[in-house]
Amino acid sequence: MPDASPDAFDECVKIAVIGPQGSGKTSLVHRCTTSWFCEPEPTFGVDFRLCTIPIDGRQTRLHLWDTTGSARFAKITHAYYRIAQGILLVYDATDADALGRVGTWLEQVSTYASDSVCVLLCGTKADRLSKEERARALIHGNTTAARAGIAHVLTSAKDNEGVLPAFEALTREVRAAAAQRSRAVVLRNETFGERMMKRCYSPAACPGLSCCMPLWHQPICESPTSVHRRAEAAM
Ligand SMILES: Nc1nc2c(ncn2[C@@H]2O[C@H](COP(=O)(O)OP(=O)(O)O)[C@@H](O)[C@H]2O)c(=O)[nH]1
Ligand SMILES: [Mg+2]
């Protein structure tokens, strides 16, 4: 039976919000966690915020690390890149040069974040754009993101436009990547098991019983690592 308490959740997703100072990171996180907009305080190092929202029928607890854009705190913020499952890379859509600097941020992501991290490019302050500017910003943002193989969204924390959908989209990517990784692990284990079975039941290749046994028949006193190493050496 689902737990109705606000603390109940089905999954937990860790998201780092990164980008230059003044791009609107704190306002986005604030809008996501409190549903209102106010003039934010400057961020020093990393601010941690929690919120639990339903995403596709699952209560999802978001751990949001709102990082500062200042290079002074780079060592601290990079530590959060490493443990994040998703990164929201924020740029100010009203700044014509902002997209040109996205490449530098992406380089930092590939240096410091895990290989499996999911990244979403997020333009902010869309309320300040005219209709034409918005259309241009969408095209340029989409093109920049597509070059990096990631998706792009435009948001306004002030008007509450696209903020939750941005965090939802990133969460879905994190879920999909995790599902793909666990499918790969199952496949690898199945393949490994099959190879072990083949050896075990091919008499010529079987000098002693235990070395060719399928893994699930190995004596339990043996550590999985040593079994694995020995099995790999035998193949
Ligand atoms: N008009 C408008 N201003 C915004 C929006 N988001 C942030 N700002 C303003 O941009 C400035 C920097 O925002 P902040 O969230 O502190 O940026 P951070 O340094 O990246 O965390 C502040 O003056 C905000 O009020 C937005 O969606 N619309
Ligand atoms: Mg901030």
Q: What is the pLDDT of residues 189-235, one digit of tens each?
A: 777 666 655 554 454 544 444 444 444 433 333 444 443 454 455 44
Greater confidence, 42 or 93?
Answer: 93
Nearest protein Cα to ligand 1, atom 12: 22
Per-residue pLDDT of 87-103, as tens digits, reads 999 999 999 999 999 99
Residues with CB under 5 A from ligand 2 (ion): 25-26, 43
Q: Considering only CA atoms, give the Rg of the chain.
A: 23
CA distance linking residue 39 with residue 3, whole number of Å: 35
CB 43 within 8 A of CB 28: no
Buried b (16+ CB within 10 A) or exposed e, 162-199: bbbebbbbbbbbbbeeeeeeeeeeeeeeeebeeebeeb
What is the rounded average pLDDT for all residues in the chain?
84
Assign 85 a pLDDT band (cuts: 50, 70, 90).
very high
CA distance linking residue 29 with residue 43, whole number of Å: 12
**Ligand 1: which residues within 6 Å by Cβ?**
21-27, 39-40, 43, 69, 124-125, 127-128, 156-158
CB 66 within 8 A of CB 17: yes
DSSP symbol at 107: H
- 157 CA closest ligand 1 atom index: 27
Task: Calculate how far, in angstroms, residue 10's C-alpha sits from the geometric centre of ligand 1.
Answer: 31
pTM to 2 decimals?
Answer: 0.80
CA distance linking residue 222 with residue 209, whole number of Å: 15
| 45 torsion bin: left (phi>0), alpha (psi -120 to 50), beta (else) | left
Strand order in the sheet with 118-124: 46-55, 58-67, 11-18, 86-92, 118-124, 151-154
Task: Calculate how far, in angstroms, residue 45's C-alpha sits from the geometric centre of ligand 2.
Answer: 9
Per-residue pLDDT of 148-157, as tens digits, reads 999 999 999 9
